Structure 1
Amino acid sequence: MEPIAVTERLGRWSSGRGPLYVLLAARLRQLIDDGELPPGAALPPDRVFAAQLAVGRSTVVAAYDLLESEARIVRRRGSGTRVAGATTVATPETTDAPMFLHLLEPRPDVISLACAAPESPPPEVAEAYAQILPELSSTTADIGYYPGGHPALRTAIAERYLRQGVPTRPDEVLVTNGGQQALSLLARAFLRPGDRVLLETPTYPGALEAFREAGALLHPLPLGLDGFEAAARTHRSALAYVTPTFQNPTGAVLSALVRRRLVEVAAAVDVPLVADEIVADLGFPGEDLPQPLAADAATVITIGSLSKNIWGGLRVGWVRASAATIARLTRLRAVHDLGGNLPAQLAAAHLVPRIDVLCAARAAQRESCHDLVLGALSRKLPDWSVTPVRGGQTLWIRLPYGDGSSFAQTALRHGVAILAGSGLDVSGRSDGYVRIHFRHPPQTLTEAVDRLAGAWRAYHPPSRTTPAPPALAV
């Protein structure tokens, strides 16, 4: 293939925040994904490229290293650097995160403790669909496209926030296809390559993937974003992300004092604060659930969903934010998706007012499954360190030796899928942890722990663990 004048195609790539190598990698990534740099295209040697761009050679080397770690380019001694071909690179904008791969490539012989959600819809879902049939059958003069969400559902969500102490109008709610789409839209709206995101560590891997897709630099902080103000003032940040109630994966709940301080600091340093409250309704019996974080400051951007408290198959989530932010997100969403499933939204409008009742009815069952797993782990894996939780759906487990990544592979060979801590922690300090969930029926959970025990007996940790690439964490 003839050499391509890469520098002519780059255009403006250095206008943005963040290290130059991240900005350069982001622009090259875009050219590759858009086909401007086709498979097999030769890229300039790092010294030549650096001279052409008037940057240090280390900038080009770091950018190439980042793209190589994503399998977008191939570097071989003697043949130079080339855009990866179809046989060596996955489809652009795909993920290799284990949580998603277990969904994309399910195995019937494997019990998945990697992605948590209700195993079946409650009867109330079918009842809600039955309620909307007359409305659907009488619908006329309605093409069914609502990029912002159907007005009935936006109103129901707004009224629920009002009951929780957060005055909200329907135009301050955007309905999305689940919480993951909400995260992706926020990443697209607020982040540019090289922008910095402050987030807890460990945290939800789906958030990490959404922010990485936007080319963001991920700055890890302890739970509750301790050190948030200092980090925000030292390094200009574009976004902060927190799970204040039943944190994923640890199950921690922020105190009222920490919540107030968090929103005060976010306002003071002018950093948009995203509160992921998708699992906030999953308290055990007798657990007093705190108000949404937005009750302390209406400027907080809140993500909600029916995936964990009702059923993931509905694919109904939302963002609650200022009307200006919602309008911006709606325009962005319209480009990629003209609107969600209308029958699902109409059914959800009947379900949202019942969230508290439905969650309370199943709280004892969730607690029972939590206790069952804790008891089974205590008997069969007594050297594992597990902290009980008072809600949510996950357990954060410290292994006595070895690392989560290699053990997760052993567990998979024994028929159970778990998440390694390294995939939830960009700081690199959670290699010795794994995450599991307790949403399966009791008999399935019992079998899963039996398989984990068998995997642990067979586990031989590698003599040396390969660390995760550090380029995306700062």
Structure 2
Amino acid sequence: MAGSQPSQPLNGTGHVGRTLGSGQLATLLPDPTRARPVYRHLAQAISELILDGRIALHVRLPAERELAPALGVSRATVTAVYDLLRDSGFAHSRQGSGTWTALPAGRTPRGVTRLLGPRDTAIDLARAAPALPHRTLADALARVSPQLAEHVGTPGYHPYGLPELRAAIAERFTHRGLATVPDQILVTSGAQHALSLVLGLLCRPGDRVLVENPSYPNALEALRRARLRTVPLPVTDVGWDTGTVTSSLRRSVHRLAYLIPDFHNPTGCLMPAEQRARILRAAQHSATWMVVDETLADLALDVPAPRPFASFAAPGGSGQVITTGSMSKTHWAGLRIGWLRAPAQLVTELAGQRIATDMGGSVLDQLVALDLLERSAELLPTRLEQLRTQRAALTAALAEHLPHWTWQQPPGGLSLWADLGEPIAAELAERALDYGVRIEGGAYFATDPGVFAQRLRIPYTAPPDTLREAVHRMAAALADGLPSSAVTRRPHWIA
């Protein structure tokens, strides 16, 4: 978790723990005077933060005598809060070691439940991930079966990735305008895996990392868990401010910068070519590693597909750029196939980092991915046309049922970044569940506390009729009225 400090004692789980400061925790909590009894109100808020991942597990909570004045309550109240957290399984204590966050038996972190999806008939707009047609997967499996039989006689470990898949990904980069050889490619279990490997090799706790605000939530979570200090760069409806990015790179020492320049998640913005070149020059001068997420680069709906970010570097200037990509957004997340492109020596070091936890990906999945990549010219146009149709259905439904909401139509990607006009996104998302719609408020994509409370990310990955029904249900939830706390509650997010 960014901003927490190392703590030497073990926390009872075998891990060296971290401490959450009293001031930091106080900024995450709602006004304790707004509900009674106060101690139950605060304990509930802390347990929600733990479930959301905004407070990490195995973190030492502030001492009671420090937290009480920070919250403006008595020490007895804080004692009651901690007692209730321990009784409910959200904390445990060791004599002389303090009180530590925990997860009760049978409870699942919300980050996991978001990936698991709905357990009922709810329309799922919390995940921007398309499905793969059954026939497409069945045909690919039939074609790769003979190749799989040839691999069965081998050990099947490929820590760098299947050689033929590495070659195909390298050729894909070359075709897009960035000369690449297979030695510069590492096949991973998705782009998130690639990012985690990079952070584990290149970063140490406390390092400064530039990251867009808003940004991809799972990337933000990886940064928090690596205990990195995030430095936010604003991305508005019109994109990035070049001066802000370049001055941030020049003004301070940053270990790396994480950017999504292609149909940015969640805003949908596409970074112009001239801006990419200027940012790359600034990063090169400051010796900052650039981690560029291109998982959405192929999903160009209204513009030509962008060239790889690293191709805009001056000659010899792309050595500090690491590009990640995956099959998840263009094909199917269930394959768990991603990759990174980096200097060959760094790829070797990352492969060494990888085998400590993952000795290689599934050969079958890599063969299927290779088959799908080789058929991209046939499959991708159909996918893009489907997304255009779904985007049109979503925007038409919003204009009809929620005309006071505003958004910029993205030229590509998978979602809209809607402005609701007032800070009610979290409460609307909660109320929408009662109407059978799962969706995330803007704070889920934030690097800073209390921002994007008026925003919703609305993916257009579902069929048109489903999207129209989802908008109708959200409009009904809004018409039903939200709690008065919708405009008074202090939003919270741990940066």
Same fold, TM-score > 0.5, yes or no: yes
Instruction: Tell me which residue corresponds to 1:398.
Output: 419
What is aligned with 2:38?
none
CA displacement at 1:105 relative to structure 2: 5.5
Match of 2:5 in 1: 23
Is 1:316–1:344's contact at 8 Å kept on the other side of the alignment? yes
Mapped contact 1:309–1:355 kept (Cα < 8 A): no
Equivalences for residues 378-417 of structure 1 within 5 A: 378-417=399-438
Distance 1:411 1:265 in 2: 44
Cα distance, 1:119–1:36 mapped onto 2, change above 3 Å = closer
| TM-score computed with the length of structure 1 as normaliser | 0.83
Cα distance in structure 2, aligned partners of 1:207 and 1:421: 15
CA RMSD of aligned residues (A): 3.0
Determine the C-alpha separation between the residues in 2 that align with 1:106 and 1:277: 28
Other-structure match for 1:346: 367
Contact 1:132 1:347 in 2 (8 A): yes
The residue matched to 1:126 in structure 2 has which SS?
Answer: helix
**Which residue number corresponds to residue 280 of structure 2?**
263
| Residue 235 (structure 1) shift | 2.7
Residue 460 of structure 2 is aligned to residue 448 of structure 1: no
Shift of 1:138: 3.1
Q: Match of 1:336, SS?
A: coil
**How far apart are the structure 2 equivalents of 1:458 and 1:132?**
52
> Which has the larger displacement, 130-139 or 300-309?
130-139
1:32 aligned partner: 11
1-structure distance, mates of 2:436, 2:135: 31
In structure 1, give the amino acid aligned to 2:491. Answer: P
8 Å CA contact 1:408–1:420 kept in 2: the answer is yes
CA contact (8 A) 1:122 1:311 kept: no
Mapped to 2, the partners of 1:203 and 1:249 lie a distance apart of 6
Amino acid at match of 1:275: V
The question of 1:213 aligning with 2:225 is answered yes
Q: 1:29-428, aligned counterparts within 5 Å?
A: 31-32=10-11, 34-35=13-14, 61=22, 69-70=55-56, 72-73=59-60, 77=75, 87-88=89-90, 89-90=102-103, 96=109, 100-104=112-116, 106-121=118-133, 123-139=135-151, 141-223=153-235, 224=240, 226=242, 227-284=244-301, 287-297=303-313, 298-299=318-319, 300-427=321-448, 428=450
Q: Which residue of 2 aligns with 1:56?
A: none
Instruction: Verify the 8 A CA contact 1:117 1:439 in the aligned structure 2.
Output: yes
Q: How far apart are residue 450 of structure 1 and its match? A: 1.1
| One-letter amino acid of the structure 2 residue matched with residue 90 of structure 1 | L
Matches of 1:320 and 1:414, distance apart in 2: 43
Return closer, same or farther for 1:235/1:127 CA change in 2, 3 Å cut-off. Answer: same
1:150-173 CA-partner distances (Å, limit 9, x unpaired): 111111101111111111111111
* Residue 91 (structure 1) shift: 7.8
Q: 1:319 & 1:95 partners in 2: Cα distance?
A: 30
Amino acid at match of 2:478: W
Contact preservation (8 Å) 1:111, 1:417: yes
| SS class of match (1:174) | strand
SS in 2 for 1:372: helix
Are 2:148 and 2:363, in contact at CA under 8 Å, matched by a contact in 1? no
* C-alpha distance in structure 2 between counterparts of 1:370 and 1:132, whole Å: 33
Deviation string, structure 1 residues 423-460 (Cα, Å, up to 9, x no partner): 11123431111111001111211111111111111232
219-228 vs 311-320, which deviates more? 219-228
Q: Name stretches of at least 5 consecutive residues in structure 1 with no aligned partner.
A: 1-17, 47-58
Relative to 1, partners in 2 of residues 1:147 and 1:391: Cα closer, same or farther, differing over 3 Å? same
Give the distance between the partners of 2:337 and 2:271, measured in 1 at CA: 26
CA offset at residue 355 of structure 1? 2.5
Q: Out of 454, 465, 468, which is 2:489 matched to?
A: 465
The structure-2 alpha-carbon separation of the partners of 1:385 and 1:221, relative to structure 1 and needing over 3 Å to count, comes to same
TM superposition shift of 1:194: 1.2
Quote how far apart the aligned CAs of 1:249 are. Answer: 0.7
C-alpha offsets along residues 214-268 of structure 1, whole Å, 9 cap, x if unaligned? Answer: 0111111123364123223333211101111111111110111101111111111
The whole-number CA distance in structure 2 between the counterparts of 1:388 and 1:171 is 38
Greater shift, 233-242 or 434-443, is seen at: 233-242
Q: Secondary structure at the match of 2:137?
A: helix
Q: For 1:250, give the aligned amino acid.
A: T
The percentage of counterpart residues that share the same residue type is 35
How far has the Cα of 1:281 moved from its partner? Answer: 0.7
Q: Give the Cα separation in 1 of the matches to 2:378 and 2:229.
A: 40
Contact 1:121–1:310 (CA<8 Å) still a contact in 2? no
